[in-house]
Chain A
């Protein structure tokens, strides 16, 4: 799946660092999503953007800050993270918001908090 590209693929950071995850989709979609995938837990939806407007914040701590400058790009700014934030962060996009719109995923950023 090359339609959704995430960088970096791997990130190791200390709890006091500030870093950003980047997602870019080349599918012409209008909705973008951030998910967290932790070991032995179902996929957790974090944020949803539709036409650059945030439509969902699924009770995510403020140390995670999303940004969507346009429909093709999505960022997740990280600061003062905790060890339990170590996980695979997946970005997805869909043509529109709706259960009938398949979501297409990137390969994720593997985040490790020291």
Chain B
């Protein structure tokens, strides 16, 4: 079945690294996305990774994909207060245009 799971909450200190984790159940997932949602706003596409990749880096963001364990992570280096938001991972499969979203991880960055 299709299921994407994330921990609900993460709290870090400003300047530290944040690691947000996501697990998915469908091994045929081929595209995995990270979105950020700030209060009162929609989902902002942060980055995405194809299943033939293990890692993708984009400035302060690093995405790691472990296909064997069906585990995806988003690392934010030098976390800032402006990074406080809800982060959603989503999986997509070649066989479908639908994205399956997790319930989101709320990141709180403490000064």
The residue from B42, B93, B99, B103 contacting A90, defined by CB atoms under 8 A apart: B42
Number of A-B residue pairs having CB atoms within 8 Å of each other in the complex: 57
Q: If A43-B88, A107-B42, A108-B41 touch, does A102 touch B33 (CB 8 Å cutoff)?
A: yes
Instruction: Count residues of B near A (Cβ-Cβ below 8 Å).
Output: 25
| Complex contacts, B11 vs chain A, CB 8 Å | none
Is A34 an interface position by the 8 A CB rule? no
**Interfacial chain B residues near A107, Cβ < 8 Å:** 40-42
Q: How many residues of A contact B (CB 8 A)?
A: 26
Give every chain A residue within 8 A of B94 (Cβ-Cβ).
Answer: 99-100
B66 → A minimal CB distance (Å)? 19
Neighbour of A45 across the interface among B4, B44, B50, B98, CB < 8 A: B98
Considering only residues 65-107 of chain B, those with a C-beta below 8 Å from chain A are 88, 92-94, 96-103
**Interface residues in chain A, defined as those with a beta carbon under 8 Å from any beta carbon in chain B:** 1, 4, 6, 31, 40-43, 45, 48, 56, 90, 92, 97-108, 110
